[in-house]
Structure formats: structure tokens, C-alpha cells
A and B are shown apart, each in its own frame.
Chain A
Amino acid sequence: MERDGHQEGEGQGVIIRNPPLEINPPADTLATSLSLLGNHMFPDQVARDDRATADTQEPGELPPSEVPAQEQHLDAEPVSNQENQLETEETDNAECQNNESTETANGGTKDDAADNDQNDSGEFVVTMLAKAKLEEQGIGVKGRSSPLLEAGTQESPALMSHRDEDVTADSWRQHRKHIFVLSEAGKPIYSRYGSEEALSSTMGVMMALVSFVQSGDNIIRSVYSEKHTVVFLQKGPLVLVCVSSSRQSEEQLRGELLYVYYQIISMLTQASISRIFEHKKNYDLRRLLAGSEKILDGLLNLVDSDPSFLLAAIHCLPLASSLRDSLSQILQKAITTNLVFSILIAKNQLLTIVQEKTVIEDTRLEPADVHLLLNLIGASSAFQAGEIWTPICLPLFNPDCYFYAYISYLDPPECTVCLLLLSTDKEAFYAVADCKRKIEEAMCAQNSLSLIAKAQSYSVSQVGVSDLRHFMYKPFDVPDNYRQLTQFTSPEMEAPYSSEEEKMRLLDLYRYMHSRIHSSSRPLKLIYHVAERETLLAWVTSKFELYTCFSPLVTKACAITAITKLLRWIKKEEDRLFIRYPPKYSTTPNPSKSSRGGKSDQQDSTDNGFLSLL
């Protein structure tokens, strides 16, 4: 980036939470603190930027979809809502234009920043990143040395390319979404693109921003520039940063960072991460994550391409309820002491899940934990050989303890149907492996595998509504005493959304609708959005959350009728589309032993922990 590019740093807002004061740091202080890190060309304009506002949101962010929408019970017919709830938008109005003047002050600033397109402002973060990189050129961009690579075995170029990417190249800067993870000491832990070594001074600059704001008893939340949104998330000793040119909301991006954090926790546990950094502030966490980059890469690809993460709900494979029930029964019968969850997965989607009664009474299995498990299995082919036994933490269930996961595919060498058994006992491998054999035998007797192989996602044409192209439906009206997993259903993306670009474009539209519905400053219940090439309608009630995509020529009345039909169809098909009542079993002779947060478990995780590495 050119040096003068940042001379008019007007357009960006720095959103900081708590306390609700304007920050006007003296320009020299900020500049000085940054030049200490070798960034002497810092655009001091930013320091003078008095658009910086304070966002007084409470700490402890929720994933986007958990932001409570102000519910008023909309049980009436869709048509009656139309009058007071519909909000028609013009084509190309993807800029979060505020149609109403009820914006709160901070919301207004945020949107201004995002909207200020004509103001070709400094993009200072991008500039900073570019500068840091220039300095690194001296250091060189030696890629991470993979033992496999140096040994001469070739990885396919697609697999290695983004690790070895030249971080000074334009192509690096043009990635849609960068994710960085660093330690409080500014040590790089993970970068989605490019090697962490080559990015160490970039990450140093990021840490400088975080600590500078921190020194004023503040927390930096986000930075907006013309084309990029930079979102910060600090969790314990880790700092996560997202630099995104996708037009997602800050809340959505923060939710994604939270997923990255959880995936790291799922490998190491929160307790051992804090312990490590308590002992040694500048510990290089990459030592422990070595070989696991693929899992984080896979997560980020999934987050971009799978709406499950946006909706914080599970997508299960549609299956005749009789078949699903028989599979559940098979799992229910193959149990052993301290088994907690039995999960059957096909084509990376959930088939069924059976849960331990007492454990699930204590705490619910969160969709995010299931997403992490699905990602782990999908991201590595390591599970396709033999039977795997590995510790894994479910961060929302209990961030400090490990479960022991037995993972095995039931249909090698195709490897589409995967069994996942979670136990609290690390010595239970042989007992759990026995369960698998029972499950395998029962499934063989019932010919389940070939029935599962026939199961597939459905086409939107089955709904029988002509203008409807795609939808996502997430019901809330399930009896809670069943400890139901939050689920959603969605058909295949078909033409015109068959190419990757078009799929992404539709998802982006959904993300936009989602951010409007769940806007923290002005949540909406119904949006009718006329876009360039399609028309979308999103609707949230106390019973469901629905996103629909229609052909562009649909009329409002048509769309409403279509949705009524769609809801009727889903009601009719719900036994097939959802896991209705997740079955339970009882495997804990001593309930306290396996319940969450048990002291004994914690002790256990210390045994397996990483004290030894210090």
C-alpha cells in the first residue's frame, strides 16, 4: 500500500467497549508505542481520529445467533405481519442503509464507518499490515518446514500453498478473510494464510494495538476501514484477530473467532493453556498445535461455506424416522461404563446421537461442540485408518476437561459413515471398541449401511413451490425437557447456486439477512429484501427462524403464500428432517463422576496435561 494512502484517516471507527468514553489518545503516544515495535511509519492520523467511539457493550459476547431478538410473539398469519413488519429494500442496498432514524449513537457510527464509501480513507490497518510485511521482506518468507516436504515426499500444491504463501504478495492481501491467533506476548500462534514466522511483526503490531487500548483500561473491539473490518477477540492469554473484506457484521466475525478459540480449546483445554502461559508468558503455543493447523484451516473453510455455524444449529441428514430410530436403538444397546455420547455421522452430517441421561441432565450438548467434532473428523483423513483413541475437550460442555473419543469409520475404504463414542474414562478404549463391534454387528444384521448410503439431502423442488430456490429453517418449538439439540434444515443448493462463487454469494446474502435480524442495536423480525438476482425473505418468530430465497420476479404476496406452503411441508416432513427426540442411555453407576466439572476429572486432565512441557 502507498504511503499516502493513509493520510486521510477519516473513515474508520474504532469500537471499544467499556467505559463509555470517547478516547482521544495523544497522537505521539500511540505513534511512539507502535514505533517501538518497528513500525515507524504508523499513520498518526488514526490517533487523531475523533470518530473513535466507545461501545459500552457488556463483556462476554454471545455467538451471533444467540443475540436475543426482541420477541413479541408473532403467531398470526404471515400476511398480517406484512403491514407492520415488512421492510422493503431496494436493489443494491447491501450497505446497511439506515431507513429509520432510531439508531443509537454507537450503531450510527459503526454504520457510518462501513458506509463511508466515497471517503477513500486510510485503511490504516491494511496499511499497517503492508508495512509490517515490507520490513519482513528482509527476514524472508521462508515457508514453514514440513518434515514431509523436506523429506522429499510431495504434498499436493493445493495443500501446501497457503502455508508457504508469500505474505508480501498482493494475492495474500486479497484474501477475503484473514484469521490470526497470537499470544499476549505477541507471539504468533496461527495464521490462516502464510507462515506465522513471516507474519511475526504484523502480529506484533496487532498486539501493540490491543495493549495500547488496554493500557487505557479499555478493550479494542473492532476497526473499520473502507474495505476491511478488523475484529479483535481476547480470550484468556490468547488474542484472536479477523481481518475481513466479506461484508459480515462484527458480531458474526466475532462469533467465528470464538469458534477458532473453541477449536484450540478442544485440542488443549482452557485450563492447560492458562497454566502454560502462567508459567511462561512467551511460550510458543505452536509447539502444541503443530500438525493441527489443518483442523483450524478446515474449521475456517467450514465456517465460510456451511450455514450451521451462522445459525448455531446442527444440520442432520434427512432419514426415514424408522431407520433413524433403529440406528438410535443400536447405539442405545451398545454401551459401557462412563460412555457419555454415541454419535453416528454420515457424509459429515449427523445421523443420530444418543446421550447419557445424568450427564445431559446437568448440561446440554451445544451445537458448537458438535460442529467442532464434525470438523475434526472431516478435516483429517487420519481417522480413516484403524480405530482412533484421542483426548478431546468439548469447550462449551466443559472447557477444562477432556473426553476420550473413540473414532472409527464403519465402511472402509469408502469412509462415509463414522462412529464417534465419547467416554470420560481414558483407559476405556477396549471396552468402547467392544461397543463398536456390537454396533457393527447389529448394523450388519439390519443392513443399515446400505440404507444409510441411500440417504441424501433433498431438493427444494420436493417442496413444490415454484419460485422458491432455497431456504434454511431452524425450529424452536421443541420440548426442552428432551434436551434437544438445536437443529436446522436446508435443501441442497441447486442451480443457479451450483458454482462455488454463487453458493458463497447466496450465503453472503443470508449472512446479511442474519445480521439485520440479529442486529444488536435494532433487531428485526421480518425482512423482505429485493436483491439484484434474487429476492430474500427472512422471518423470525418465537417458533422458528426462517431464511428463504426466491427468484427475483416473485411478488411479496407470492412469497408469503410460498412460505405458508413451505411451513406446511416442513411440518409434514419433520420426522424425516430432524432428530425428533434424541434418545438416552444410562451408563454411569456414579453420576457425580462423569458430570461436568467434577474435581476428579479436572485432576485427570492435569495428569494428561502439559505441565511436562514446561
Chain B
Amino acid sequence: MALRELKVCLLGDTGVGKSSIVWRFVEDSFDPNINPTIGASFMTKTVQYQNELHKFLIWDTAGQERFRALAPMYYRGSAAAIIVYDITKEESFQTLKNWVKELRQHGPPNIVVAIAGNKCDLSDAREVPEKDAKDYADSIHAIFVETSAKNAININEVFIEISKRIPLAEASGGTSGKGFKLGRQASESRRTCC
């Protein structure tokens, strides 16, 4: 069976549940007292998709502002980005829009974007209507799901959707093995800072 390596990075505001989503996907567990990520955490998980094995190389980035400038290091060379917001926090949805903008400007040209509205188990406290988010996702041709890392809702589905959308050509090219040895793109990363 063919093995494809897919580099995926998670972006989004602090506390929206990026690590929880990854933790649920990789370990199928949930820790309500999870600590804020420091820098970025790298994890892998291999899943079968049709007649291929997809090895997800996941960069779970820290949402804290002090690590913001490091993000290009992680999304550069990514095949897909999952941008997460918290459905109970309008502000995190605004942050998400900024991430989309940044990816469009400085990210890899063919990057697959998935938007995950996390904490959908807390719909009582919802601040971001599902329709608004869905419309926005459609307007940028992004995958859209509402997820709950806590209740394991739609977590695997996000990754399956990503598998579906990854163009076949990518498999033989850029994202495999040593392919994502990050080149120095100093000028580009500088632009993202300002």
C-alpha cells in the first residue's frame, strides 16, 4: 500500500482547542485541564484512506501571541491547514479570518484550508452562528465543520476531508519525506511579520 505523508498545521486563537483536536485525533483522548501549548508540538498519525496510507505530520502551534511570528515556520510546506475557532468566542472567529488572510498571502499556494468551529458541545453559549461560518468557509473554498474534541464529534472527519482534497500530484511531489526540509525564505517570513 502506498504511503503518503501529509503535513498539516493547526492555527487559531489561544484556548480554542487546537491541541485537544489533535489529541483526540491522535490518541483518542481528552483532557479538560490541558496546558497551553508552548512553541509548537509535532505529532504523527497514520490512517488508511481508500487504498493508500496517509501519514499525517501534524504541527500543533501555540495560539499565544508571543509565538505568532513563528507560524510561517510551521505552515510553510504544509499541504493543509486546519484553522480552529471557538464557537462560543466571536473574537476567535475574527482571529481565524486573519489567519486565512495570512495564509492566502504567505502560505503555500495550493494549501488546503479547513475551518473547524470547535466546542460545538457548548451550543448554549454559542456566539458564532453556524451559517455565518459556513458562508465564510464557502466564500474561501475551505472545508467547514463544527467539531467537539470533548465529545469526539467530527474530528476524524476533518482529516478525512483533508485526505479527499489533497491533489494526487502532491503525493509524489513536495510533501513527502525530506520534501519539507524547510528552505530559508527569509524575505517572505519577514513580510509576514509586518
A interface, CB within 8 angstroms of B: 146-148, 150-156, 159, 267-268, 287-292, 294, 376, 380-383, 385-391, 405, 426-427, 429-430, 433, 607-613
- Select from chain A the residue with minimum beta-carbon distance to B181: A430
When the two chains form their complex, are residues A151 and B122 in contact, meaning their CB atoms are under 8 A apart?
yes
When the two chains form their complex, are residues B23 and A385 in contact, meaning their CB atoms are under 8 A apart?
yes
Q: A380-B35, A385-B23, A427-B184 are in contact. Are A610 and B42 (CB under 8 A)?
A: no
**Which of B16, B23, B43, B58 contacts A147 (CB under 8 A)?**
B16
10 A-B contacts (beta carbon < 8 Å):
A147-B13, A147-B14, A150-B125, A152-B125, A153-B32, A290-B66, A291-B62, A385-B43, A390-B40, A427-B182
When the two chains form their complex, are residues A148 and B42 in contact, meaning their CB atoms are under 8 A apart?
no
**Which of B35, B65, B186 contacts A382 (CB under 8 A)?**
B35
When the two chains form their complex, are residues A291 and B186 in contact, meaning their CB atoms are under 8 A apart?
no
A380 and B37 alpha carbons, distance in the complex (Å): 9
When the two chains form their complex, are residues B42 and A389 in contact, meaning their CB atoms are under 8 A apart?
yes
When the two chains form their complex, are residues B33 and A291 in contact, meaning their CB atoms are under 8 A apart?
no
A152 and B119 alpha carbons, distance in the complex (Å): 10
Report how many residues on chain B are interfacial, defined by Cβ distance under 8 Å: 50
Q: A147-B15, A391-B70, A611-B194 are in contact. Are A382 and B41 (CB under 8 A)?
A: yes
Instruction: Produce 1/0 per residue, B1-41, CB < 8 A to A.
Output: 00000000000011110010011001100001111111111
Q: A147-B89, A382-B38, A385-B19 are in contact. Are A426 and B33 (CB under 8 A)?
A: no
Q: A386-B43, A612-B194, A613-B65 are in contact. Are A380 and B38 (CB under 8 A)?
A: yes
**Which of B33, B38, B39, B119 contacts A159 (CB under 8 A)?**
B33
The 10 closest A-B pairs by CB, nearest first: A390-B39, A147-B15, A291-B36, A386-B43, A612-B193, A386-B41, A382-B35, A153-B32, A288-B66, A291-B64
When the two chains form their complex, are residues B193 and A607 in contact, meaning their CB atoms are under 8 A apart?
yes
* Interface-central residue, B13, B36, B122, by most chain A CB under 10 Å: B36
- Select from chain B the residue with minimum beta-carbon distance to A392: B39
User: Which residues of the partner chain A approach B14 to less than 8 Å between Cβ atoms?
Assistant: 147, 290-291
User: Which residues of the partner chain B approach A380 to less than 8 Å between Cβ atoms?
Assistant: 35-36, 38
12 extra interface residue pairs, beta carbon distance < 8 Å, beyond A292-B66, A386-B60, A390-B38? A147-B16, A150-B125, A290-B14, A376-B38, A380-B35, A381-B34, A382-B41, A389-B41, A391-B67, A607-B189, A608-B69, A612-B68
User: Which residues of the partner chain B approach A289 to less than 8 Å between Cβ atoms?
Assistant: 66
When the two chains form their complex, are residues A147 and B35 in contact, meaning their CB atoms are under 8 A apart?
no
User: Which residues of the partner chain A approach B41 to less than 8 Å between Cβ atoms?
Assistant: 382, 385-389
| Chain B interface, DSSP helix/strand/loop, else mixed | mixed
When the two chains form their complex, are residues B186 and A267 in contact, meaning their CB atoms are under 8 A apart?
no
User: Which residues of the partner chain B approach A608 to less than 8 Å between Cβ atoms?
Assistant: 69-70
A-B contact count (CB 8 A): 127
B interface, CB within 8 angstroms of A: 13-16, 19, 22-23, 26-27, 32-43, 58, 60, 62-70, 73, 86, 88-89, 119, 122, 125, 150, 180-182, 184, 186, 189-190, 192-194
User: Which residues of the partner chain B approach A294 to less than 8 Å between Cβ atoms?
Assistant: 35-36
A385 and B44 alpha carbons, distance in the complex (Å): 11
**Which of A151, A267, A386, A613 contacts B42 (CB under 8 A)?**
A386
**Which of B16, B27, B40, B58 contacts A389 (CB under 8 A)?**
B40
User: Which residues of the partner chain A approach B64 to less than 8 Å between Cβ atoms?
Assistant: 288, 290-292
When the two chains form their complex, are residues A288 and B15 in contact, meaning their CB atoms are under 8 A apart?
no
When the two chains form their complex, are residues A288 and B65 in contact, meaning their CB atoms are under 8 A apart?
yes
- Select from chain B the residue with minimum beta-carbon distance to A428: B182
User: Which residues of the partner chain A approach B193 to less than 8 Å between Cβ atoms?
Assistant: 607, 611-612
When the two chains form their complex, are residues B65 and A151 in contact, meaning their CB atoms are under 8 A apart?
no
A610 and B65 alpha carbons, distance in the complex (Å): 9
User: Which residues of the partner chain A approach B40 to less than 8 Å between Cβ atoms?
Assistant: 388-390
When the two chains form their complex, are residues A612 and B60 in contact, meaning their CB atoms are under 8 A apart?
no
When the two chains form their complex, are residues A382 and B194 in contact, meaning their CB atoms are under 8 A apart?
no
User: Which residues of the partner chain B approach A426 to less than 8 Å between Cβ atoms?
Assistant: 70, 73
User: Which residues of the partner chain B approach A288 to less than 8 Å between Cβ atoms?
Assistant: 64-66
When the two chains form their complex, are residues A151 and B184 in contact, meaning their CB atoms are under 8 A apart?
no
When the two chains form their complex, are residues A610 and B66 in contact, meaning their CB atoms are under 8 A apart?
yes
User: Which residues of the partner chain A approach B68 to less than 8 Å between Cβ atoms?
Assistant: 612-613
User: Which residues of the partner chain B approach A376 to less than 8 Å between Cβ atoms?
Assistant: 38
A294 and B58 alpha carbons, distance in the complex (Å): 25
How many Å from the CB of A400 to the closest CB on chain B? 16
A376 and B39 alpha carbons, distance in the complex (Å): 12
How many Å from the CB of B32 to the closest CB on chain A? 4
How many Å from the CB of B192 to the closest CB on chain A? 8
User: Which residues of the partner chain B approach A146 to less than 8 Å between Cβ atoms?
Assistant: 15
How many Å from the CB of A153 to the closest CB on chain B? 4
When the two chains form their complex, are residues B69 and A610 in contact, meaning their CB atoms are under 8 A apart?
yes
When the two chains form their complex, are residues A389 and B39 in contact, meaning their CB atoms are under 8 A apart?
yes
- Select from chain B the residue with minimum beta-carbon distance to A156: B33
A292 and B14 alpha carbons, distance in the complex (Å): 12
